[in-house]
Structure 1
Amino acid sequence: MSPTTRVLNASTKALYRLCLLLPLLANHEASAEPLVIELHIPDAPPLTFVNDPRGHGIVGDVAVAAMTRAGYTVKIHVLPWARAQKHVSEEHDHLITPLSRIPTREDRFTWIASIMPMERAFFSLERRVSSFAQAKETYRKIGVGLGSAQEDILRSEGFSDEQIYPLAIGDNPAQMLLMGRIDAWFNGVPESRYIWPKVSKRKLLMSSVGSNADLYLACSKQCSPEMVEHLRDAVEALRADGTVKRVHDLYLPQ
């Protein structure tokens, strides 16, 4: 066999091996691309922002940082809060935050990690209360975020449908309280204290804290165990290195 023939045969074999490897290389490159994960948030300052130059809020920024740290690409979705919860719970591998871990939601989601605690209280302009029982007797209409944990908490505490006034999450309940359309607002303490000064200079009366339920980064009921583990580790790493506190202090300075 001539030297030319040997070279051609060697080239042919090399080309054949390359052709065999091309699909594997393509698959490797495709798998190296970050997985795009949907994150559902409401516009609920300062916990989550949809349009704010600083970012996505306390819980939103931590969730996005955890997803990035875990190697995922974030795709933000904003739906009405009740619809967002239904959508995420029925999908696969969708994320949602800030979601309070309360009994009525326990079996509908995969709970990844607590991001921050959340105290809740009654806010009013005229009458301060010290318990759920007193609030039940004092307030005729109590504003709550539609689809929020606050709505579920009041129902579980025995408040009637006539007393519970669900409103779009955001500053709507604060505006309704200012106009006298509701007697009280049952909501998270940091959120209410953040929103109220932007609505009015009137003094806002706060009750004793009536409920505590941590705000979580959660996933669909059917969620990749690997993704849950990676995100849980990422949130704890952000807490350990001080990122969670720094983000909190950016939106809620002491």
Structure 2
Amino acid sequence: MSAIQIWLKIKGVMIPKKGQVRRLGFYLSRSLFVFFLSHSIYAVEIPAFTENLPPLNYEENGINQGYSVELLQAIAQEAGIKVNIQVMPWARSYQTALETPNALLFTLVRNAERENQFLWIGPIAKRKVYLFKLSQRSDIVISDLASAKKYRIGAVRESASTKLLMAQDFQIGRELDVTKDDFINMKKLIVGRIDLMVSLDWAANFAIKKEGGTTDQISRAFLLDQSHEYYFGVNKNTDPEVYEKLAKAFDKVKKNGLLKRLQIQHLGPQDN
């Protein structure tokens, strides 16, 4: 008696004839093969590190939200890959992503310094960074970047815009007051502990609303940078097949219009 017949007998199932057993064994084997194949495809899970930078990416009430979060989830689903999104201070997210194979970092400015540190997927959004002030601060007038040096500026530690300012001889502890995110900088701006804060226009508007204020309470004092775009950054030691699947899934999401729909939903109409 074969192993299949013994198993069927134990289970109280009527034992089929010899030919039927062979067919049953074939179908069972094929079913098990398909089961394990499908589960091996979807068993791939990668960590994705990010920060609180609404409306791009943020955590609220224990739920990961924002434009980049929804876009990444859509791409991962299309690629058949699971993502484990972890929201941390930017400096920690950045360093962890650099040190973790198969990890992804977002939302990331692609610039010369970072070009060889990551594999890139995108671009996913345009980027304009401003120095913001309280609208009531008519005493703050900035004609060029050098004239901003006489003010105390809130910035996010290890961000691209902070490094841009440092490259222009703005120093931490002198002109720059660095914190972990825009929320803290907005609190400081409101109470007068800083004169200016570096932020995206979307992020500044979100932060002032979170503090119970309105967008007319803050004003753009100076356009700091619009020379770069946002991307997903993938650790360079990532399995090439995983990266290729994600990149192809991004292309598909872009072509089918979901990318544009998510942009409009979260960020408003984008300049071409």
TM range (shorter): 0.7 to 0.9
Identity of matched residues, %? 23
In the aligned structure 2, how far is the partner of 1:20 from the partner of 1:70?
Answer: 27
Determine if the alignment matches structure 1 residue 219 to structure 2 residue 234: yes
Asked if structure 2 preserves the Cα contact closer than 8 Å seen for 1:63 and 1:97, the reply is no
- My pick for the range that moved more, 223-232 or 78-87, is 223-232
Determine if the alignment matches structure 1 residue 184 to structure 2 residue 196: yes
TM superposition score normalised by structure 2 = 0.78
Determine if the alignment matches structure 1 residue 61 to structure 2 residue 70: yes
1:232 pairs with 247, 259, 262, which one? 247
- My pick for the range that moved more, 238-247 or 175-184, is 238-247
Distance 1:63 1:14, change over 3 A: closer
Asked if structure 1 preserves the Cα contact closer than 8 Å seen for 2:54 and 2:202, the reply is no
Determine if the alignment matches structure 1 residue 194 to structure 2 residue 206: yes
In the aligned structure 2, how far is the partner of 1:147 from the partner of 1:194?
Answer: 21
Alignment gaps of 5+ in structure 2: 1-16
Alignment gaps of 5+ in structure 1: 1-7
1:153 pairs with 164, 182, 197, which one? 164
Counting matched residue pairs gives: 246
> Any idea what SS the aligned residue of 1:209 has?
strand
In the aligned structure 1, how far is the partner of 2:224 from the partner of 2:97?
Answer: 28
- My pick for the range that moved more, 24-33 or 199-208, is 24-33
The answer for the alignment partner of 1:143 in structure 2 is 154
1:173 pairs with 185, 189, 192, which one? 185
**1:166-199 Cα deviation digits (max 9, x unpaired):** 1121311011011111111011122112222333
1:123 pairs with 132, 136, 139, which one? 132
In the aligned structure 2, how far is the partner of 1:190 from the partner of 1:12?
Answer: 65
> Any idea what SS the aligned residue of 2:178 has?
strand
- Please tell me the residue identity of whatever aligns with 2:86: H
The alpha carbon displacement at 1:27 in A equals 5.2
Determine if the alignment matches structure 1 residue 44 to structure 2 residue 56: no
The answer for the alignment partner of 2:37 in structure 1 is 28
Asked if structure 1 preserves the Cα contact closer than 8 Å seen for 2:42 and 2:81, the reply is no
The alpha carbon displacement at 1:92 in A equals 0.7
- Please tell me the residue identity of whatever aligns with 1:244: L
Indicate the RMSD between aligned Cα atoms, in angstroms. Answer: 3.0
The alpha carbon displacement at 1:143 in A equals 0.5
Distance 1:197 1:10, change over 3 A: closer
Distance 1:144 1:22, change over 3 A: same
The alpha carbon displacement at 1:249 in A equals 2.5
